[in-house]
Amino acid sequence: PVSEPVDYMLKRWDGFTSFLEDGRICLTNNAAERALRGFALGRKSWLFAGSDRGAERAAFMATLIMSAKLNDIDPQVWLADVLTSIADTPISRLEQLLPWNWKPKTLGAQAA
């Protein structure tokens, strides 16, 4: 029984030791699990979206909010700015409103 876990580890040795060569690699997946916890806690709430279309809209909004967070942007500040400026933005410049391209209008507007 002891040889099975040892054999498993030896077959994947490069993956197990990769964090030793690259300091960006985390030894555990705790950070990833913490990042997903908030979304996982809302899972049962998705059952009450009201319709398939409502669930699609909720998933769309969750994706935008998480994208803002991943880009170190306060989702509330970003969304408020986008909602107030989207009507005046030409279609050719809509991509500037995406979280990874967005720039706050004033320097103090973004609270990360």
| Of residues 76, 81, 83, 84, the one with CA closest to residue 102 | 81
Q: pLDDT tens, 19-67?
A: 888 888 877 888 778 877 776 666 666 677 778 888 888 888 888 888 8
Q: pLDDT tens, 68-84?
A: 988 899 999 999 999 99
Q: Are 104 and 110 in contact (CB under 8 A)?
A: yes
Q: Are 102 and 73 in contact (CB under 8 A)?
A: yes
Q: pTM score, two decimals?
A: 0.54
CB atoms inside a 10 Å sphere around CB 23: 7
Taking the C-alpha atoms of residue 84 and residue 101, their distance in angstroms, rounded to an integer, is 17
